[in-house]
Amino acid sequence: MEYEGCFRLSQRQKYDCLLFDLDDTLYPYSSGIAAACGKNIKDYMVEKLGIEKSKLQELGNLLYKHYGTTMAGLRAIGYDFDYDHYHSFVHGRLPYENLKPDPVLRSLLLSLPLRKIIFTNADKVHALKVLSRLGLEDCFEGIICFETLNPTHKNNISDDEDDIASTRPEIFDIIGHFAQPNPNLVELPKTPIVCKPSEDAIERALKIANISPQRTLFFEDSVRNIQAGKRVGLHTVLVGTSLRVKGADYALESIHNIKEAIPELWESDMKSEVGYPGKVAVETSVTA
């Protein structure tokens, strides 16, 4: 993985790398970004895929629960759309102005003598925009994002985006499926999209960044992503609550509480140096 920057460590400590989720982890849920994103996803489902409004809530819940993201679920059950167009629609109208520079977090991150990498299900345009708004674009070695884990983009089945709904293949009725007495007797269709909380997605990310899970601390706001990370051997930090759930080694009410909760990351006897050249590297190819 061709990350820019330098790292020199004179003495071995417990962790080599800090792996950070992006949304609702590096900034609070109260920013309104997540709520706006959810609304945009529903609008996309209605306007671009022709899904009935009455089905949005139940369908969205089922897709998120069983596929990790609504996007991955929509592709699994048969909806065909361009990934870049989806991300542009869902993220392009977000209230990024709600995100302000965070000099406190910036100082904390820059003082950490360890590799620091972003790992998000979002696309690279969104990730870079969020980091820029927070003033953190030079605090990380690189970004592992949607394009990293899904390097072959799916093109539209039609040149006209408005034709997607009318020319789509047969759609798997996941709502009807779970209304059956024994839904587990029939296997759900698989998604072509790789994303958290899939253990495969996490393992791919670790391989791309050349990370040892046993020596990595994983920061996430999602309990299921934390638990998936734990299953592949990561040390885990749940962000957004002080309640430590199963699978979380630490729990932080806010990302700003890192130093109080995990002071060993700043061991005074460590003589180390981490430097990044001012612009975060985005990894967009999977290595063999």
pLDDT, one tens digit per residue, over 52-70 is 999 999 999 999 999 999 9
Q: Is residue 135 predicted with pLDDT exceeding 80?
A: yes
| Average pLDDT of the residues in 139-163 | 74
Q: Is residue 46 predicted with pLDDT exceeding 80?
A: yes
- Give the pLDDT band of residue 152 (cuts 50, 70, 90): confident
Q: Give percent above pLDDT 90 in the chain.
A: 79
Secondary structure (DSSP) of the chain: ----SEEEESS--S-SEEEE--TTTSS-GGGSHHHHHHHHHHHHHHHTT---GGGHHHHHHHHHHHHSSHHHHHHHTT----HHHHHHHHHTTS-GGG----HHHHHHHHH--SEEEEE-SS-HHHHHHHHHHHT-TTS-SEEE-HHHH--SPPPPSSSSGGGHHHH--PPP-HHHHHHSS-GGGSPPPPPS---TT-HHHHHHHHHHTT--GGGEEEEES-HHHHHHHHHTT-EEEEES-S---TT-SEEESSGGGHHHH-GGGG-TT--EEEE--SS-EEE-----
Lowest mean pLDDT among 149-158, 168-177, 236-245, 252-261: 149-158
Q: Give percent above pLDDT 70 in the chain.
A: 83
- Give the pLDDT band of residue 23 (cuts 50, 70, 90): very high
183 vs 268, which has greater pLDDT? 183
| Average pLDDT of the residues in 150-169 | 54
- Give the pLDDT band of residue 185 (cuts 50, 70, 90): confident
Predicted structure pTM score: 0.86
Which range in 47-51, 159-163, 164-168, 274-278 is most confidently predicted, on average pLDDT? 47-51
